[in-house]
Chains A and B, each alone.
Chain A
């Protein structure tokens, strides 16, 4: 009988530290599989964030740099400029990318930096124990919005793909989710597309992935999958927000 499934060599044998029901593990796997299937793993430098994925340097089987909080796109820019042939990705959560690292995100995007950003949006700060994230939903209860997020006090959530898709440097922006097997397949396809955009030097690419945090949402792993569908997807519609990968972002600048 042939092998039907095996662990990708894009991941190490480290035991993941993520909570039960957290979808970081799925996202790690589909990103690692994509790097292997596209033949990019051995030339890849991954930039990992501060947040729940802070120890991802132990999990991805490629060179990695642990960046200061929010600075991954700037670190990735430095790597990209030093190593024109490398594949460079950042792996960032919502606090890292859309709060403390907003400037680095926006400017790497508008420069058309040839990097791929994997943006894991679970609407909460997981690592520090469940505080409000820039993507926490209106009325969402967190440790720092104990009465629910009141936009009059705490402002509105940031829709990252919508915002970045207005920038000329962005070649590809898609929002996906990983709360069903079909969605996982779609997410992997989006990641492969983004990495291919980078490989062909078409510009900045980002895949936003709606993810779960059962621990800090206070729900079971199964309920968390429904929470994504019922609460997050309506506010963060799935889909392709920008795709100029055919021409690339610099075609008019030449």
Chain B
């Protein structure tokens, strides 16, 4: 039987990253993700890996760029204000086709904001993770077990498509403790990276990691080729969980920590005779728009719940294209909605009244 550990989400993610072959971690302290750095600082020397506390978030992401360009699995983690600083480096990773994993344990914003849980970086992660035309894979865990499971998947998928991947968690998931069983390692052999800058050893032409293309037609072609890969990602890599959706005429869409709360609210609504169901996007990009559109056919009303002023709700509206009424309920600034708050919203929609 697999061993079960009681761990914080941040620590489970860190351990799972190491078990996925990530032996190079570059960090910078910021609440509420600092446990990831602290865990890496403890574990990396034990396995002969690298933990390095960088002088800034900017330096940390560029160390990831260097290590990942050299072909190893490299990771950095931060929380909202620090992710803004990393956005330059993330754009270069994407523009140079270098796979790496970035963790954002979101806190309230904008500016310095607060240190309590938030989902207010959804737009940043899914729409504008830096300058230029590009996407990053975005995985949204909903519990400590998934903090562990998704990081390995993020590395695998990033390598497969040569794109950066983000784990978009929040302070609640990072700080809470739950039992976790680490996924079995599929193989110690990581994918070969013939493009990596490892020194030619005199056996091949030089490899170049670069995002500069001064001829506009060349740059356009390179971006278009990258978007062909994005299309394949949208076709093959979408993940979502459904809960009681088969007969649901009122659909709740929520991700991350809010999805756990929404699950309780949906169950309570069912006890009241309301046919509620939940769709939980696990990948935020690619977004499960086909699934939501399909389920919207039988659900006249959709409630999107987030710890923000309403960001993912845009993608839900785009998925259903007006075929259902899309309602929104959000708390922000570090406030976490309670199951009863969400239940009240569901009840109000079922009663066809505004709250």
Interface residues of A, Cβ cutoff 8 Å to B: 12, 42-45, 47, 54-55, 57-58, 60-68, 71, 74-83, 86-87, 103-104, 106-107
Q: Is the CB of A62 within 8 A of B199?
A: yes
Complex: chain A residue closest to B89, CB-CB: A68
Complex: chain B residue closest to A80, CB-CB: B66
Given contacts A63-B198, A68-B88, A75-B63, contact A82 B70 (CB under 8 A): yes
Can you name 28 A-B pairs with beta carbons within 8 Å?
A42-B202, A43-B199, A45-B197, A62-B206, A64-B208, A64-B209, A65-B65, A65-B210, A66-B96, A66-B211, A66-B212, A68-B88, A71-B58, A74-B60, A74-B65, A74-B66, A75-B63, A75-B69, A76-B66, A77-B59, A78-B24, A78-B64, A78-B65, A78-B69, A79-B69, A103-B55, A103-B59, A104-B58
- Give the CA-CA distance A68 to B67 in the complex, in Å: 15
The residue from A54, A60, A62, A82 contacting B66, defined by CB atoms under 8 A apart: A82
Q: With an 8 A cutoff between CB atoms, is B201 at the interface? A: yes
Complex: chain A residue closest to B208, CB-CB: A57
Chain A proximity of B129: nearest CB distance (Å): 15
Complex: chain B residue closest to A54, CB-CB: B212
CB neighbours of B62 from chain A (8 A): 67-68, 71, 74-75, 78, 104
Complex: chain A residue closest to B88, CB-CB: A68
- Give the CA-CA distance A61 to B66 in the complex, in Å: 19
Chain A proximity of B127: nearest CB distance (Å): 21
Chain A proximity of B287: nearest CB distance (Å): 29
Q: Is the CB of B67 within 8 A of A81?
A: yes
- Give the CA-CA distance A107 to B58 in the complex, in Å: 12
Ranked 7 nearest A-B pairs via Cβ = A78-B66, A74-B62, A78-B67, A63-B197, A75-B66, A78-B63, A107-B55
Q: Is the CB of A68 within 8 A of B212?
A: no
Complex: chain A residue closest to B71, CB-CB: A82
CB neighbours of A87 from chain B (8 A): 199
**What is the 8 Å Cβ interface bit string for chain B, positions 45-59, against chain A (1 contact, 0 not)?**
000001010111011
Known: A77-B66, A79-B197. 4 other contacts (CB 8 A): A47-B66, A55-B212, A64-B210, A82-B74
Q: Is the CB of B59 within 8 A of A74?
A: yes
Residues of chain B in range 160-193 having any CB-CB distance to chain A below 8 Å: none
- Give the CA-CA distance A44 to B197 in the complex, in Å: 9
Q: Is the CB of B199 within 8 A of A82?
A: no
- Give the CA-CA distance A92 to B150 in the complex, in Å: 38
CB neighbours of A62 from chain B (8 A): 199-200, 206
**What is the 8 Å Cβ interface bit string for chain B, positions 19-31, against chain A (1 contact, 0 not)?**
0000010100000
Q: Is the CB of A81 within 8 A of B206?
A: no
Q: Is the CB of B89 within 8 A of A83?
A: no
Q: How large is the interface on B (under 10, 10 to 19, 20 to 34, 35 or more residues)?
A: 35 or more
Chain A proximity of B315: nearest CB distance (Å): 30
Chain A proximity of B89: nearest CB distance (Å): 6
The residue from B63, B88, B206, B210 contacting A77, defined by CB atoms under 8 A apart: B63
Q: With an 8 A cutoff between CB atoms, is B139 at the interface? A: no
Interface residues of B, Cβ cutoff 8 Å to A: 24, 26, 50, 52, 54-56, 58-60, 62-72, 74, 88-89, 92, 96, 197-202, 206-212
CB neighbours of B63 from chain A (8 A): 74-75, 77-78, 81
CB neighbours of B68 from chain A (8 A): 78
Given contacts A64-B209, A68-B62, A78-B70, contact A103 B198 (CB under 8 A): no
Given contacts A63-B207, A66-B96, A71-B89, contact A45 B198 (CB under 8 A): yes
Looking at B59, B60, B88, B207, the one whose CB has the most chain A CB atoms below 10 A away is: B59
Given contacts A75-B62, A78-B70, A79-B67, contact A65 B212 (CB under 8 A): no
Complex: chain B residue closest to A103, CB-CB: B55
CB neighbours of B64 from chain A (8 A): 78
Chain A proximity of B37: nearest CB distance (Å): 15
The residue from A12, A57, A74, A106 contacting B210, defined by CB atoms under 8 A apart: A57
Chain B proximity of A58: nearest CB distance (Å): 8
CB neighbours of B209 from chain A (8 A): 64-66
Q: Is the CB of B59 within 8 A of A107?
A: yes
The residue from B65, B72, B89, B208 contacting A63, defined by CB atoms under 8 A apart: B208
- Give the CA-CA distance A67 to B92 in the complex, in Å: 8
The residue from A12, A47, A80, A86 contacting B198, defined by CB atoms under 8 A apart: A86
CB neighbours of A82 from chain B (8 A): 24, 50, 66-67, 70-72, 74
- Give the CA-CA distance A64 to B199 in the complex, in Å: 9
Chain A proximity of B66: nearest CB distance (Å): 2
CB neighbours of B88 from chain A (8 A): 68
- Give the CA-CA distance A47 to B65 in the complex, in Å: 11
Q: Is the CB of B206 within 8 A of A79?
A: no
CB neighbours of A67 from chain B (8 A): 62, 65, 92
Given contacts A75-B65, A78-B68, contact A83 B199 (CB under 8 A): yes
- Give the CA-CA distance A103 to B55 in the complex, in Å: 7
CB neighbours of A103 from chain B (8 A): 55-56, 58-59
Chain A proximity of B283: nearest CB distance (Å): 27
Given contacts A42-B201, A63-B200, A75-B65, contact A104 B206 (CB under 8 A): no
